[in-house]
Chain A
Amino acid sequence: MMLMSIERIVIPTHVRDEFARSQHLVLHALGSWLAPAASTYELVQANVRRLETTVDDSEKAFLGWEVVAAAVELAELVATLILHTRHPLTSLFHSADNQTLKALFASLAADDFSQSEGFRFLRLRSLRGFSRETIRTMAATGRVVENLRIAVNGISNFWLIHADNARWFRHLPMSLTVDEADEISSGEHPSHETVTREIEATANRVETLARMDESTRVLEYTALRMEDIRAARQVAATANELVMNWISNNPVDGRPRPNERWLFQFLTHRLTDAEKRALEQHGHYILAERPANTG
Chain B
Amino acid sequence: MATTSSPNAPPTLADLRGVLPRLYLHRSFVRRIGQRLNYLERLLREHGDAKFPVFHALDVLYCTSVLIEQLRKVYELIANHVDARFPGARKSLDSRINNSRPPGQHATYQYRAWLFPVLDHIPDSAFARLGFAPEHARGLLQEIVRRTAERFGQEEEELRRFAEGYGEITAAHKHGRAIFATEPSVSATTEKTVSVNMEASTSVATVLCSDSPGTPPTSFVVFRPDEAFWDDIDRMTAILDIQVPRLVDFIERFVVVVHAAIRQVEEGRNEPLPTFPFFLSGEPYTAEEERLLDAIRTKSLRLFDENT
Contact = CB atoms under 8 A, between A and B. Distances in A.
Interface of A: 2-12, 14-17, 19-20, 25, 28-40, 42-43, 46, 50, 58-59, 62-63, 66, 73-74, 76-77, 79-80, 90-97, 101, 169-177, 180, 183-184, 209, 212-215, 253-254, 295
A126 B106 CA distance: 66
* Max chain B C-beta neighbours (<10 A), residue from A3, A34, A36, A80: A36
B67 to A, nearest CB: 11
A62 B46 CA distance: 18
Contact of A95 (B28, B73, B213): B213
A217 B203 CA distance: 51
Contacts of A170: 66, 174
Given A25-B208, A73-B177, 4 more contacts: A33-B181, A40-B177, A171-B70, A175-B25
* Max chain A C-beta neighbours (<10 A), residue from B28, B88, B202: B28
B93 to A, nearest CB: 7
Interface string B231-245: 110010000000000
A79 B176 contact: yes
B186 A176 contact: no
Contacts of B58: 36, 39
Interface string B74-99: 00000000011111101001100000
B194 interface: yes
B200 interface: yes
Contact of B25 (A6, A25, A90, A176): A176
Nearest to B185: A9
A122 to B, nearest CB: 21
Nearest to A61: B35
B52 A39 contact: yes
Nearest to A37: B177
Contacts of B54: 35
Contacts, number: 214
A9 B220 contact: yes
Given A15-B194, A35-B52, A36-B179, A9 B218 contact: no
Contact of B31 (A58, A76, A90, A95): A58
A171 B94 contact: yes
B182 A32 contact: yes
B182 A28 contact: yes
Contact of A212 (B25, B66, B228): B25
Contact of A295 (B51, B69, B194): B51
Interface string B201-226: 01001001110011111111111111
Interface of B: 20-21, 24-26, 28-29, 31-32, 35-36, 38-39, 42, 46, 50-52, 54-56, 58-59, 66, 69-70, 73, 83-88, 90, 93-94, 158, 161-162, 165-166, 168-169, 174-182, 184, 186, 193-196, 198, 200, 202, 205, 208-210, 213-226, 228-229, 231-232, 235
B25 A174 contact: yes
Given A16-B216, A16-B217, A59-B38, A215 B86 contact: yes
Contacts of B46: 46
Contacts of A173: 28-29, 32, 70
B213 A9 contact: no
A33 B59 contact: no
B32 A62 contact: yes
A2 to B, nearest CB: 6
B35 A29 contact: no
The 6 closest A-B pairs by CB, nearest first: A39-B55, A76-B176, A95-B213, A214-B85, A5-B229, A3-B228
B176 to A, nearest CB: 4
Contacts of A6: 165-166, 168-169, 221-224
Contacts of A74: 177
